[in-house]
Amino acid sequence: MPKSSSFRALVTGGAGFIGSALVWELNRRGIDNIVIADRLGTDEKWRNLVPLKYADYIDGIDLISSVQSRPESLGQFDAVFHLGACSATTERDSDYLMRNNFEFTKQLALWAVARNSRFVYASSAATYGDGTHGMDDTMSDLDCLRPLNMYGYSKHLFDQYATRSGLMRRIVGLKYFNVYGPNEDHKADMRSVVHKSFAQVLKEGRIQLFKSHRPDYKDGEQKRDFLYVKDAVNMTLHLGTSPLAAGLYNLGSGEARSWVDLAKAIFAALGKEPVIEFIDMPDTLRDKYQYYTCANIAKLRGSGYSAPVMSIEDAVADYVKNYLMHDRRLGDEVA
């Protein structure tokens, strides 16, 4: 990591889930010369900012306006972490997704690279679709991928643009898998199952999971690569400060675990016996549901990232006991 006294970073989506966690980790490393860009709206994500240390805040629309009309006005950044996006996999306004997730990313990337700033952006494992063509971040033919929703396609489109234009050789794209952890409570329906199920256990004493609608998977045995947000930001900062890293990288645990495993970890963290109920998956999700995701993280490891990844048992215990049970955010634990 560069010297904290001289390192200046821009974090878009800095009030959001992964963005605020990234600022928190930068603060832990002694870095607070940070400009946060976001759109706060009417939800409660502003609360994620309260414990954090940063130099300035700029509205996301104002940021894009400055990039377009006054590109020198923002000054020089060592690194730009572009984590701001619409992350709702159920969003149906395609024009909005194209502007927010594709066009804004393109403009920021070109602006950052022109100023020799390190540019790191959030792609998504949703770009892999149902996994028919694998989930390999070294694949040369991105055109074979078929995202299952417009969110995934908007992310995939920039991956393609950056690859075809040669831009990808100078930037880093992060294919985040299922990230969960503190600072996600503002995300409404896009909150993790851990966050939703914690509340359900307290209220009803049970966790509801979707039934499987495929004969090759038992109910609750659909699998995901679950990644704790603390691991996600450590991986992000490693790649963001490794000069030789470039291209697309899977960020996950490297292990697929079932929803039942996750539910049991939540009950264990609460000191309760598991009570799991299976419910029908909504028709609107059935054709767009990923039954299996697992990140091949060999490329990440090959870049020099050697830290262990927390198991869901340990990570869920940390999340539940140190944050959810006390309504804490990252940074509150040292307040």
**Residues classed as catalytic:** 151, 187
Q: Which residues contact 215 (CB under 8 A, 6 or more apart)?
A: none
The distance in angstroms from the start CA to the end CA of the chain is: 25
CA-to-CA separations, 132 to 55, 129, 287, 320, in angstroms, rounded: 45, 8, 14, 34
**Helix (DSSP H) and strand (DSSP E) numbers for the chain:** 11, 13
Distance CA 264, CA 245 (A): 37
CB 205 within 8 A of CB 274: no
Q: Which residue carries 């709206």 as its tokens? A: 41
The helix (H) or strand (E) run that includes residue 59 is strand 56-59
Distance CA 11, CA 333 (A): 22
Listed in sequence order, the DSSP H helices in 115-258 are 150-165, 193-204, 229-240
* Beta-bridge mates of residue 57: 36
CB 174 within 8 A of CB 120: yes
